[in-house]
Amino acid sequence: MKRTPLKSRSKKETARVRRYQQARYIVAERSNGYCEANTPNCRGPLDQVHHRKGRDGDLVDDVDLLLGVCWSCHEYIHGHPLESYERGWMIRRNGE
Ligand SMILES: [Zn+2]
């Protein structure tokens, strides 16, 4: 879990969080409430938003880097990195 600092957010940080929340909302709309990964373990309904390039402390607001997933696919993706890179569920950070 990401730690939240106690001090209040700057305007820039607030804008960043808002863009992230909007991106998550767009993913939820795009997926129609269903998992977009469809791994062999898929359970159907959308539970979480997966970051295809990982989070690395950043709030990703590029919807192309976000994938709506069920919790089961989310586990599957992180448990099968090679397959996930192949299927595009994960993207390598340093080039293709
Ligand atoms: Zn799924």
Distance from Cα 12 to the centre of ligand 1, integer Å: 34
The yes-or-no verdict on residue 96 having pLDDT over 50 is no
Q: Could you tell me the CA-to-CA distances from 36 to 3, 25, 30, 92 in Å, in that order?
A: 28, 14, 9, 19
Q: Would you say 93 and 70 are in contact if contact means Cβ atoms under 8 Å apart?
A: no
Residues with CB under 5 A from ligand 1 (ion): 35, 37, 42, 70, 73
Average pLDDT over residues 85-89: 96
Q: Work out whether strand 66-69 and strand 48-51 pair parallel, antiparallel, or are unpaired.
A: antiparallel
Give the pLDDT confidence score for residue 2 in this predicted structure. 65
Beta-carbon-side half-sphere exposure of residue 50 (alpha carbons within 13 Å): 25
pLDDT in tens, 28-62: 999 999 999 999 999 999 999 999 998 666 678 89
Distance from Cα 9 to the centre of ligand 1, integer Å: 34
Distance from Cα 2 to the centre of ligand 1, integer Å: 24
Domain ranges for the chain, please list them.
33-96
Q: Give residue 15's identity as a one-letter amino acid code.
A: A
Helices (H), 1-96: 11-30, 71-79, 81-87
Q: How confident is the model at residue 6 (pLDDT cuts 50, 70, 90)?
A: low
The yes-or-no verdict on residue 27 having pLDDT over 60 is yes
